[in-house]
């Protein structure tokens, strides 16, 4: 089976897409990836091209690659609809799959009428969105997440210098939002450390004690995030949404801490219940009071937090690696 991945092959999303591609390769598939950002590059980068010309160039370059590689399946991971699917289907007879890794916040859900009927399968990280689409007759929608690179995100042995810098009873990685500030300012006295941009800005974080918890003024990801997970007792995951009524969706961060053998305290959602054993593999909170109580409990009990982290790592290795998820998708497509 030949699989072509088309997505932004840089940053966090790119890392995970490359990981999923490696999972496909380990399962015996031939797989290639295209960074769609590079399809717009022209000979003169300083020349401003008309959007219609860029679109035509982008589609032609993609079709050239498709004709050369001859994939059976194309998996698109897009932020915007930048390809002409009808044009692609004129020359490509294989399966077209869209992969959503943002859940209910995915921009393409706002203009589904322009693409939903031109694809064979939609993979979404939101069960709520899947059920909603099924009710509207779009049954070619499946709850699916691409997994995590368990070799990249793993428990790391740190030296004393790194333990001193990255270590803390409880940490948060990400940028501030109203909701995040509202929750985190209640656990400052637990030895909280926050990692990411803008936590030092008064107009973003009015609480001076919380601003003082910032240890890095740059966004933390990749190997540095792995070090944070390896050195902290508990990693907090609060989704970047200021509405208490909005249901959060899975993100890559829901798997990074568990894969790195770190105890994760995250917002409760239906998807998490399907993926981990709540209470023994990950800890979830339902509201702010529940968050404060569990943050204190698990940040102070290092042995219990470590046990939960070990259990989560075992689960990731057995069920949530890119290799396992790629095999699941291949088997599903083969049986369909």
Domain hosting residue 137, numbered range: 2-147+322-335
Residue 307 sits in a domain of what CATH number?
3.40.50.2000
What are the per-10-residue average pLDDT scores of the chain (336 residues)?
Answer: 95 91 97 92 62 86 96 96 94 96 89 94 94 95 95 95 97 95 97 97 96 95 94 92 64 94 94 95 96 98 98 98 97 90
CA distance 270 to 249: 9
Helix 302-315 with 288-300: angle, nearest 10 deg: 100
Q: What's the number of domains the chain is made of?
A: 2
Please give the model's pTM, rounded to 2 decimal places. 0.90
- What is the helix (H) or strand (E) element at residue 329, kind and residue range? helix 322-335
Q: What is the pLDDT, as a whole number, of residue 242?
A: 55
Helix (H, G, I), strand (E, B) or coil at 215: strand
E strands, 117-162, are 121-124, 141-143
84 and 180 share one domain: no
Which of 77, 61, 78 lies closest to 69, judged by CA? 61
- Residue 98 falls within a domain, yes or no? yes
CA distance 116 to 32: 24
Q: What's 252-310 look like in SS3? A: CHHHHHHHCCCEEEEECCHHHHHHCCECCCEEEECCHHHHHHHHHHHHHCHHHHHHHHH
Specify the pairing of strand 141-143 against strand 192-195: unpaired
314 and 328 share one domain: no
- Residue 155 falls within a domain, yes or no? no
185 and 247 share one domain: yes
> Is the backbone of residue 129 left (phi > 0), alpha (psi -120 to 50) or beta?
alpha
172 and 314 share one domain: yes
């Amino acid at each position: 089976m030949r699989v072509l991945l088309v997505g932004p092959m840089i940053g966090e999303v790119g890392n995970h897409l490359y990981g999923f591609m490696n999972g496909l390769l380990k399962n015996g598939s031939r797989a290639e990836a295209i960074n769609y950002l590079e399809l717009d590059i022209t000979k003169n980068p300083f020349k401003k091209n008309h959007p219609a010309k860029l679109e035509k160039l982008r589609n032609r370059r993609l079709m050239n690659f498709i004709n050369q590689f001859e994939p059976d399946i194309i998996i698109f991971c897009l932020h915007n609809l930048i390809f002409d699917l009808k044009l692609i289907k004129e020359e490509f007879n294989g399966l077209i799959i869209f992969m959503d890794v943002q859940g209910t916040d995915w921009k393409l859900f706002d203009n589904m009428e322009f693409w939903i009927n031109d694809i064979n399968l939609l993979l979404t990280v939101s069960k709520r969105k899947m059920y909603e689409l099924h009710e509207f007759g779009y049954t070619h929608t499946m709850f699916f997440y691409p997994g995590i690179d368990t070799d990249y995100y793993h428990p790391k042995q740190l030296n004393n210098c790194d333990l001193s810098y990255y270590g803390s009873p409880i940490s948060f990685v990400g940028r501030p939002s109203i909701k995040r500030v509202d929750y985190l300012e209640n656990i400052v006295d637990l030895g909280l450390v926050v990692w990411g941009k803008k936590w030092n800005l008064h107009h973003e974080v009015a609480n001076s004690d919380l601003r003082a918890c910032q240890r890095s003024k740059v966004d933390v990801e990749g190997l540095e995030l792995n070090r944070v997970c390896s050195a902290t007792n508990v990693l907090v995951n609060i989704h970047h949404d200021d509405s208490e009524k909005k249901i959060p969706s899975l993100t890559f961060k829901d798997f990074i801490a568990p894969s790195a053998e770190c105890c994760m305290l995250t917002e409760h959602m239906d998807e998490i219940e399907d993926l981990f054993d709540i209470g023994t593999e990950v800890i979830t909170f339902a509201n702010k009071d529940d968050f404060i109580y569990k943050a204190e409990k698990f940040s102070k009990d290092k042995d219990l937090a470590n046990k939960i982290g070990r259990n989560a790592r075992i689960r990731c290795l057995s069920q949530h690696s890119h290799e396992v998820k790629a095999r699941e998708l291949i088997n599903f497509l083969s049986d369909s």
